[in-house]
Structure 1
Amino acid sequence: MIPALTPETLSLVALGLGIAGFACLAGPVFLRLSGRAPAEPPGSGRSLRSPLWWVGFVLTVAAIALQRIASQQGPG
């Protein structure tokens, strides 16, 4: 049986998801800036939006949604 999630627990889960999401979003940017990932040729139509970027985007959106849910529940 799954115990009820308190707002504090949801906030901690949201924080973890937010940190992981930011790391995934920033990862391709840091790789490109450090020179470990090659720059795309001009006009190629490619961007920094790799699959890792999309994972970070989804994790960040999930973190925001969980934080909103936790804040609406009030003190638990």
Structure 2
Amino acid sequence: MAFTPETLGQIALLLGIAGLGCLVWPIVMRLSGKGQAEPLGSGKSLRSPRWWAGFLLTIAAVFLQRIASQQAG
């Protein structure tokens, strides 16, 4: 199943939006006072599983976008 560059670009955009949402969510929760209070300097303050999922989704979006741009050109 081959995807067109436009389809890959749209999938990359969706993955990027989902990844950004996952990355930002722990920060928003902490700023609103609903997040977990980790001690400062513990190294785990914002590294929740959701943060890591967002990080991986964002990396996947970047690679898909690169593939789409190589196929288009």
Say yes or no: TM over 0.5.
Answer: yes
Query: Could you say which structure has the larger radius of gyration?
Result: 1
**Aligned partner of residue 47 in structure 2, secondary structure:** coil
Q: How many residues align?
A: 73
Aligned counterpart, 1:55: 53
Which consecutive unaligned segments of at least 5 residues does structure 1 have?
A: none
Amino acid at match of 1:48: L
Letter in 1 for 2:55: F
* Conservation of the 8 A alpha-carbon contact between 2:39 and 2:45: no
Distance (whole Å) between structure 2 residues aligned to residue 62 and residue 24 of structure 1: 14
Provide TM-score, normalisation by structure 1.
0.87
Equivalent residue, structure 2, for 1:22:
20
Deviation at 1:43, TM superposition (A): 4.5
| Aligned residue number for residue 41 of structure 1 | 39
Large movers: runs of 4+ above 4 Å: none
Name the counterpart of 1:10.
8
When residues 7 and 37 of structure 1 are mapped into structure 2, their CA distance, relative to the original with a 3 A threshold, is same
Cα distance in structure 2, aligned partners of 1:53 and 1:43: 17
User: RMSD of aligned C-alpha atoms?
Assistant: 1.4
